Amino acid sequence: MAWGKYLLSIYTSFCSENLQHFDNKAEALVEKIRQCILQQYENADLNVAWIARQLNYTPNYISRVFCEQTGIPISACIIQMRMDKAIELLCHSEM
């Protein structure tokens, strides 16, 4: 039975490390997506498919990972960034 517990502890450790690696990879992807949005928010073609092509992932994958990590869809993040920049421009323009 001790052998079984040993194997279970190795398996548990392996799974834990893989989940941590996935979290780090997902967080890095979310940061890349955010940077892409920040740099390209003025681009009229900016959408999930465009970002996916730039980062060499599928649109479904980046959408799922982004929403799981942030709780909001990529399209909502794009809209929010554009709204924030529009407000910033209006507040700092001389009318």
pLDDT tens digits, residue range 20-77? Answer: 555 789 999 999 999 999 999 999 999 999 999 999 999 999 999 999 999 999 999 9
CA 29/CA 86 separation, integer angstroms: 26
Please report which confidence band the pLDDT of residue 7 belongs to, taking 50, 70 and 90 as the band edges: low
pLDDT band at 79 (very low <50, low <70, confident <90, very high): very high
| Residues 35, 55: Cα–Cα separation, whole Å | 11
What average pLDDT does this structure show over 11-17? 55
